[in-house]
Amino acid sequence: MKNKQMININNVTYEYKSEDENLVAIKDLSLDIKQGEFIVIIGHNGSGKSTLAKHMNALLLPTEGIVEVKGMDTQDEKHTWDIRQIAGMVFQNPDNQIVGTIVEEDVAFGPENLGVKREEIIERVESSLSLVGMDAYRFKAPHLLSGGQKQRIAIAGIIAMRPDCIILDEPTAMLDPEGRREVMKTIKKLNKEEKITIIHITHFMEEAVDADRVIVMEDSKIVIQGKPREVFKQVEKLKKLGLDVPQVTELAYVLSKEGINIPADVLTVDEMVMKICQLR
């Protein structure tokens, strides 16, 4: 199961065309994502990560190269809607992606578009809302909820379409720490319990710690890729790119530079505590 291909991106280039100049957002980029993976993409604004995300569900079509979702070419218009059902997308601003004026109506929007039968829509709305822990808010108006809650509603709206994969384009960028925690907990739960492939784009390095794979983008390309431990170990390289590492990792890095015997790939506070206790 885990080795099945979910998304294949082969030598994709994408240019934003405007009248006076062409802006290359992705340059000759290749990436394979397997079913069930939890991938975190980090990088600067303008590094091309949002553009890349929009290729994964046919919102943008590559200028050159091929994007395949479960073997379906995104260029093929026949498959557009199947692809968007398989690869759901959650955006940055929770206010700008909620269509319904009542929580349950918004969650039902996706399945309604897919032409799902009435009874099943109701069932899906219920199960999706309970999955994100928002069942108590089913009949509330979304604009009265907190940012984290709104974002969880948006996630529920995607889950109700029964996707295999969810792409989250900086879903935590506009949230307070509490909302960020809620959303991250939900995302991890979806990956672990529902086996949904997650592609999570973020600015917060702490959110990348539990990923299966971290991808660092810079200047339209992938520059570092690997397990969180391998990626964050390269503190200097990341700093050079102007990116942060998780605070604990940075601490470990600084300590080891001072000659204290701590490995540079510590990712969590607990691990750090263990390592420090083992010092003598």
Partner 1 sequence: MLKDITIGQHYPTGSVIHKLDPRTKIIAVFVFILTLFLVENFMAYGFIAIFVICCIRIAKIPIKYIIKGLKPLTFIILFTLVINSFMIAGEIIISIGPLNITEEGLYQGTFMAVRLIMLVIGTSLLTLTTSPITLTDGIESLLNPFKKIGVPAHELAMMMTIALRFIPTLLEETDKIMKAQMARGADFESGSLIKRSKSLVPLLVPLFISAFRRADDLAMAMEARCYRGGEGRTRMKELKYFKRDFLAIAVVLSLFAVLYLM
The stretch near partner 1 (CB under 8 A) out of 99-107, 180-188, 219-227, 257-265 is 99-107
Tell me whether residue 131 or residue 238 sits nearer to partner 1 (CB atom): 131
Q: Of 83, 43, 227, 277, which Cα lies nearest the Cα of 167?
A: 83
Print the binding letters for residues 68-97 with partner 1: x by CB under 8 A, - otherwise. Answer: -------------x--xx--xx-x-x-xxx
- Dist CA 199 CA 53 (whole Å): 8
As measured in angstroms, the least distance from the Cβ of 278 to partner 1 is 48
> Under rule CB under 8 A, which residues in 26-65 are in contact with partner 1?
57, 59
What is the number of other CB atoms lying within 10 angstroms of the CB of residue 206?
A: 17
Does position 125 interact with partner 1 (CB under 8 A)? The reply is: yes
Does position 174 interact with partner 1 (CB under 8 A)? The reply is: no
Does position 113 interact with partner 1 (CB under 8 A)? The reply is: yes
For β-strands 165-169 and 87-90, DSSP reports them as parallel
Tell me whether residue 97 or residue 197 sits nearer to partner 1 (CB atom): 97
Report whether 56 contacts 90 (CB < 8 A): no
Tell me whether residue 124 or residue 233 sits nearer to partner 1 (CB atom): 124
Q: By CB under 8 A, how many residues form the interface with partner 1?
A: 39
The binding site for partner 1 (CB under 8 A) comprises 57, 59, 81, 84-85, 88-89, 91, 93, 95-102, 104-105, 108-118, 121-122, 125, 139, 141, 143, 157-158, 161
